[in-house]
Amino acid sequence: MANYTELLARIADRARDDESTSALTAGLPTPLSPRTIDSVEERLGFTLHPLLAAVYREVANGGFGPDYQLLSLTDGPTSEQAVECYLQARASRAGTEWAWPEGVLPILTWGCGMYACVDCRSDQGTVLLFEPNPGDPDAAWWIDSPSLAAWFEHYVNDTGWWVRAEEGEDLDEMPSWPEAQERAAS
C-alpha cells in the first residue's frame, strides 16, 4: 500500500487555503470516521481507493478541490453526495446503453451532467471524466488522469486541464477509457 502522508498534508493545506479565501467561510466539512467509511463501502459493494478513503477520513468530507469541489461522500454539506450519485446512476441507467460502470465513483461534478470519477477497481485509482453531452454513450468516458494521486497533484499545483481550460487554452483530447462498455455491463 502506498504511503500518501505527504500528499495528504499538501491536499489539506491547499483545501484550507482555498477555504480561507472563499467568500463562504463555514469551514471544511468534518472528516469521516473509519467506521463511516466502512459503512459507505458496504453500501457501495466495493472498497474505495485507499487515497480516496484517506482524503475523506483525514482531510474533509468533500467541500474542497477544483471548480465545483469534491462531493461529500455521504451525509455532507453538499446537495449531491457521491454514494447517492453512484447508486442512482447504477439503478437508473441499468440495462441501457448509458449503464454506469461498476466501481466508478463520481467525486466531483463539472456541471452539465459531467463528472470526475474514480475507478476504485484500478490499482492507481484512475480518474475518469464522464462527458455525456455529445450524446454518444460509446464516447462518454475519458481518462482524466492515470492516477488519483496525479489528479490531486494537479489540484494542489493548479496544473489540471480545468485550470488551462479556464485560461482559454485549447486542450488536446483525453484518451478514451476502453473499459467503459465492458464494466458497465457487469
Q: What angle do CA 74, 8, 18 make, to 5 degrees?
A: 75
pLDDT at 2: 80
Count CA atoms closer than 13 A to 28's CA, side-chain side: 26
186 closest CA partner among 48, 36, 1, 45: 45
- Rg (the chain; Cα; Å): 16
How crowded is residue 91: how many other Cβ atoms within 10 Å of its Cβ? 9
Query: CB burial class (10 A; 0-12, 13-18, 19+) of residue 19?
Result: middle
Grid cell 476502453 in the structure block, residue: 178
pLDDT at 168: 79
Q: What are the chain's domains?
A: 5-166+175-185 (3.40.1580.10)
Q: How far apart are the first and last CA of the chain?
A: 27
- Would you tell me the crossing angle of helices 50-58 and 5-21 to the nearest 10 degrees? 50
pLDDT at 165: 83
CA torsion through residues 129, 145, 33, 76, sign: negative
pLDDT tens digit at each of 186 positions of the chain = 588 999 999 999 999 998 765 545 568 899 999 999 999 999 999 999 999 999 999 999 999 999 889 999 988 655 689 999 999 999 999 888 899 999 999 999 999 999 999 999 999 999 999 999 888 888 899 999 999 999 999 999 999 988 888 887 776 678 999 898 888 877
62 closest CA partner among 39, 12, 113, 28: 28
